[in-house]
Amino acid sequence: MSRHSNSLVPLLILVFILLAPLAAWSQVTILTQHNDISRTGANLNETTLTTSNVNAYQFGKLFSRTVDGQIYAQLLYVPNVSILNKGTHNVVYVATMNNSVYAFDADDPSAAAPLWQINLGPPVPYQDCTTYTDITPVIGITSTPVVDPSSNTLYCVAKTKENNNYFQRLHALDLTSGQEKFGGPVAIQASVPGTGDGSVNGTLGFDPLRQLNRPGLLLLNGVIYLAFGSHGDTSPFHGWVIGYSATTLQRVAVFNSTPNGGLGGIWQAGQALLADAGGYIYLMTGNGSFDYNTGGKNLGMSILKLSTPGLTVIDWFTPYNVGSLNGADEDLGSAGPLLIPGTNLLLGGGKEGVFHLLNRSNMGHFQAGSNSQIVQNFQATNGHIHGSPVYWNSPSNGPLVYVWSEQDYLKAFKLVNGLLQTTPVATSTMPVPSGMPGAMLSLSANASMAGTGIVWASHPYNADANHAVVAGILRAFDASNVTTELWNSKQNASRDDLGNFAKFSPPTVANGKVYLATFSNQLVVYGPNPSASPSLPSPWVDQDIGNVGIAGSASYSSGTFTVVGSGMDIWGTGDEFHYVYQSLSGDGQIVARLASQQSTDAWAKAGVMIRETLGVGSRHAMMAITPGNGSAFQRRLTTGDTTLHTFGSAITAPYWVKLVRTGNVFSGYQSSDGTNWVLVETDTITMAAGVYIGLAVTAHNDTLLCTATLDNISVTGSTSNTPPSVSLTSPNNGASFTAPASITITASASDSDGSVSKVDFYQGTALLGTDTSSPYSFTWNNVAAGSYTLTAKATDNLGATSTSSAVNITVSGSSGLPTPWADQDIGAVGVAGSASYASGTFSVAGSGVDIWNTADGFHYAYQPFSGDGQIVARVASLQNSDAWAKAGVMIRETLGAGSTHALMAITVGNGSAFQRRLTTGGASLHIFGAVITAPYWVKLVRTGNTFSGYESADGANWVLVGTDTITMAAGVYAGLAVTAHNNTVLCTATLDNVSLTGTAPNAPPSVSITAPSNGASFTAPATITIRASASDSDGTVSKVDFYQSATLLGTATSSPYSFTWNNVAAGSYSLTAKATDNSGATTSSGAVSITVNAAANNPPTISLTSPVNGSTFTAPASITITASASDSDGSVSKVDFYQGTALLGTDTSSPYSFTWNNVAAGSYTLTAKATDN
């Protein structure tokens, strides 16, 4: 902490004034581009979306919202907004290129109308700005707005054309109504002294036509900072940064990057300017004039550090090859920089694909011949970087930086000892398509918890987006290993397709949903438990398999499936096709008549398939028909191996195909009439019991779609997948441990009709870890004192899940501390700490970099504490591990590294201090006390949300050091904190005369589900009444919420607690109840697993009513055949009329009849076949 000085204190207080209102929102907020002013792109408070539930079965499109134009700006999310005359809503804010701003309800799929909408003026036709075809057809709001929560204001910049005049205006809009505030809008105007391009008489003026406000807006210490580049390098233009007061909208500062030259635009592919805790702004400029190293004023192709609010250049870096970069238009500023949390490092990369890692205190300036003066630079990517890098401190690899450039794969680079490893620790298995602009990235996670980190990537699907609007795709990757793709929007394209890719707009992730901008005049919202594809009857679903050129689709009507598929082939070692499927367990068969097949290629294929997985190289068997090469029985015997082919006969559609599984023997058949079958081939393929059975279509041409229609579909066999069984085998229910505990959790899991793919271990709703092979176990380390509820969830090879009964355990305080004290390390410490107690003295040994910035590293001896109170201690001794080593008393909201807290501390060489963090993950604030050392007394007092730090020489006469307001929950942790300010050593402090006065912590309620019983079964559409018993030992139960997995079904606020769940579809479900007491504490019940079975389908009845048996006619006869048909539990979809096995005709509506004309002399046998719905 030697970097602190008294001069920083006023600046830090200003940061508090800006950030403090965020604490009023308990939910996640996305108020600025890439989530925070460090531009990490990360939401680290995402508790719903995990690597376990983001998949094609449990995650997908929930709804979309129509707007009036393309969306370039990132979507912003604000919870609990009181909308004028419309109540309180979680709101997603959208800005379009037609200069419209929308406020939409962020959660309700039925709320299609905006809560409010305002248009800020006519946009500018792109041809007015440039001849370069990029942004089309109009230019309006291009940059991401910013939200000030303290004043409920959204700031944005709109570009307009009015009476052949051009304007750019800064608007301040009320979050609740969209109305203008603070006397706005204000026209953006500025000038600087200079002789550069477009100057007049030594003055360079801002041109609202030529300049483009592409970077997102920055709100810092009460000032809105705007940055500008160009439209397709159409001169004259320059890089501008202009600051405006957030409350008066008056201009306060101007900066120009090339006042005596040209170009040097600031565009950063939409990335906003970033700022550090010291109030300095960082940015990257594009190609342009550079002479700053020789006393000039031009800083094209540079990374800059500017002061605020004055916007003067404090430091800078320009690469040694600036001349060649300018000559090749290799913008350094084609993306924005990233401030790496917890370090003094700044990372940036541009079109050259080189990462430049800079020390923010010494950025390196310019050095001829090389960039060796900076911390690090290396070739990171194969193409232009446009999607700015994002950051996560992962549980397995530590700090990771993610980037996905053009012509390349998603890469994760590991930061070790202040340097990036030049070889990525993981890459995706697929590249982006050729062309611009690579992928736009965001990240979600629950802090650094395993199983929660997800990289979200939006990029063009299969085309170059540089001069065109093209289709897009959204992908989700496991952030701990980006080789694993969890989900993408093309897997179930008929449900999840997003439309056209929104260039430079990263996904917004908040509270269990992903909000995505598009160029299809809509925003799309994804989340858990999407609806099934509306075009297919249950249980059929569809998706593209492999990297097809064009997204496929499927629909169903009157007994006929229409399947549309692209793809190169079902062949070789990997397949590309569209698949309509359902699950099959064990033996069974599928029959279909290929009624029609489009001839996109002689080797286009359509038919029936049984497939082990939905992977591109899966084992499978297929009975297929082609337009020009007859029928074939195809199969792949091992995953990723070559495909085998047995020719059938030279036939074309319409024709019947059948595929039969008996054990691991698969047989393919064909038939001209669906009655007389010819075996084509049989082979042995070792597959799991649980597989996918269905209809496959490939165009054998990746640039076309092939349409096939198939009818008379029948699937026989066990198509309902039985969920796995799972139980916890250790620890035993009621087991107790001593903190910091190491607890090995083991489970037994099996699957009667397939295999177990993984077992997830949970504490409450928090995922602890995952095991993918038996014996299933996970070791939970450094468990703090407390009561915990453990469960295990097993997932089988077809995605079905079951949750074990809950096991309750207790972890007591460490044996060296008196009850109720416990201790643990907080944050990423280098050496494990400890605590002990003897004769009234606590001895606390802690490592850690510091208690400071946005996350802490220290050792904590603590106990639960509720409401108002105080903690007093005398710091008797403090080891000198660093002048900034600290020991003292703390009140902390959570045990997370970034928790809000207050600390009254003594240091080895820098006196005393009252420290605090006002918002979770926010910057730390510091007020110096006296220049003292141990032994000395410290005291911390909480009164409501007011925290006060005191010091004393004798424990009787106290001096106030500082007071601040920190919004914390009633239940917190109070105790003794020690950090070495050196992550390689331990610092030992002794503290005595410790007293803690306050209220006993609130005991959480108890709750259990009393009905239905575990393992109960129902018949769809089911009506299920869920009942729970709930009580609270030290208060009352305010409500009981009933859940199916993570989905809230309903709430009961009075006993007896129950909820009736209606029209429940077939499937396996996990039910829980969560009780909340009058103080807000919650407890979740053990899970109850139930099954809803599909209702049995009774076949229809049918009889011929004419002609009567034995009738005679005279050739050439005209014979009308009629039939009566009905269905006891549904409807009749069609009646087929046959002579022998030959189909004569079909009628789909009653009365059912067919007229058979020109019948020759002979004897005939007539039948009718009815098919139900």
As a whole number, mean pLDDT of residues 652-658 equals 96
Average pLDDT of span 985-999: 88
Answer whether residue 1140 shows pLDDT above 90: no
User: Could you tell me which residue, 115 or 767, shows the higher pLDDT?
Assistant: 115
Q: Looking at the DSSP assignment, which residues form a beta bridge with residue 218? A: 225
**44 pLDDT higher than 90:** yes
Least confident window among 207-221, 482-496, 658-672: 482-496
pLDDT at residue 26 greater than cutoff 50: no
Provide the pLDDT for residue 752: 76
pLDDT tens string 796-806: 776 778 889 88
CA nearest to 929, candidates 891, 849, 875:
875
pLDDT range class, residue 27, cuts 50, 70, 90:
low
Q: Which of 21-35, 492-506, 646-660, 790-804 has the lowest mean pLDDT?
A: 21-35
pLDDT over 60 at 720, yes or no: no
Q: Decide: 326 and 301 in contact? Cβ < 8 Å.
A: yes
At 718, phi and psi to the nearest 5? Answer: -85, 100
- State how far the Cα of 207 lies from the Cα of 124, in Å rounded to an integer: 14
User: pLDDT at residue 782 above 80?
Assistant: no
pLDDT above 50 for 449: yes
pLDDT at 429: 87
Least confident of 133-147, 191-205, 404-418, 1053-1067: 1053-1067
Q: How high is the pLDDT of residue 754?
A: 75
pLDDT of residue 454: 97
pLDDT of 828 higher than 80? yes
> 276 is written with which tokens?
């550090």
Identify the pLDDT of residue 537: 83
Give 13's pLDDT tier (boundaries 50, 70, 90).
very low
User: pLDDT tens digits for 71-86?
Assistant: 999 999 999 999 988 8
Structural contact between residues 63 and 529, judged by C-beta atoms closer than 8 angstroms: no
- The whole-angstrom separation of Cα 384 and Cα 405 is 6
Query: Would you place residue 742 in the very low, low, confident or very high pLDDT band (cuts 50, 70, 90)?
Result: confident
pLDDT reading at 15 higher than 50: no
Q: Is the pLDDT of residue 815 over 70?
A: no
CA proximity to 124, closest of 107, 109, 137, 113: 137
User: Which string of DSSP letters, residue by residue, matches 1015-1073?
Assistant: T-EEESSEEEEEEEEEE-TTS-EEEEEEEETTEEEEEE-SSSEEEEEEEEPSEEEEEEE
19 has pLDDT over 50: no
* Per-residue confidence (pLDDT) for residue 1131, from 0 to 100: 87
Neighbours of 849 (CB within 10 A): 24
Top pLDDT among 806 and 358 is at 358
- pLDDT tens for 495-525 read 899 999 999 999 999 999 999 999 999 999 9
Q: What pLDDT score does 812 carry? A: 66
Q: Which residues contact 113 (CB under 8 A, 6 or more apart)?
A: none
Residue 18 has pLDDT above 50, yes or no: no
* Per-residue tokens: 197: 């391009």
Residue type for 397, please?
N
State yes or no: pLDDT of 16 exceeds 50.
no
Radius of gyration over every alpha carbon of the chain, rounded to an integer in angstroms: 34
Amino acid at 47: T
Among 33-37, 494-498, 555-559, 741-745, the range of highest mean pLDDT = 33-37
Parallel, antiparallel or unpaired: strands 841-846 and 203-205: unpaired
* pLDDT for residue 999: 60
Q: Please report the pLDDT score of residue 511 as a whole number.
A: 93
Q: Determine what percent of the chain is predicted with pLDDT higher than 70.
A: 95
pLDDT over 90, % of the chain: 68
Q: What is the mean pLDDT of the chain?
A: 90
pLDDT(374) > 80: yes
- What pLDDT score does 316 carry? 97
Taking only the tens place, the pLDDT of each residue in 573-603 is 999 999 999 988 889 999 999 999 999 999 9
Question: Which residue type sits at 1139?
Answer: Q
Question: Using 50, 70 and 90 to split pLDDT, how confident is the model at 1001?
Answer: low
Could you read off the pLDDT of 1039-1092 as tens digits, one per residue? 999 999 888 899 998 888 999 998 888 888 899 999 888 777 788 888 888 988
Between 1096 and 834, where is the model more confident?
Answer: 834
pLDDT at 202: 96
Q: Phi-psi region for residue 558, left (φ > 0), alpha (ψ -120 to 50) or beta?
A: left
DSSP states along 548-598: -SS--EEEEETTEEEEEE--S-EETTEE-EEEEEEEEEEEEEEEEEEEEE-
Q: What is the pLDDT of residue 1056?
A: 85
Answer whether 784's CB lies under 8 Å from 676's CB. no
pLDDT at 651: 96
Confidence (pLDDT) at 675: 92
Q: Which DSSP string do the residues of 91-102 spell out, in sequence order?
A: EEEEE-TTSEEE
d(CA 184, CA 884): 47
Q: Which domains does the chain have, with CATH numbers?
A: 40-68+430-503+505-531 (no CATH), 541-718 (2.60.120.200), 721-812 (2.60.40.10), 813-999 (2.60.120.200), 1101-1172 (2.60.40.10)
pLDDT at 232: 87
Provide φ and ψ at 327, rounded to 5°: -65, -30
For residue 764, what pLDDT is reported?
81
- Position 915 pLDDT exceeds 80: yes
Q: How confident is the model at residue 786 (pLDDT cuts 50, 70, 90)?
A: low
Q: Above 50 in pLDDT, residue 10?
A: no
Higher local confidence (pLDDT), 170 or 1132:
170
Whether 1101 has a pLDDT exceeding 50, the answer reads yes
pLDDT at 20: 29
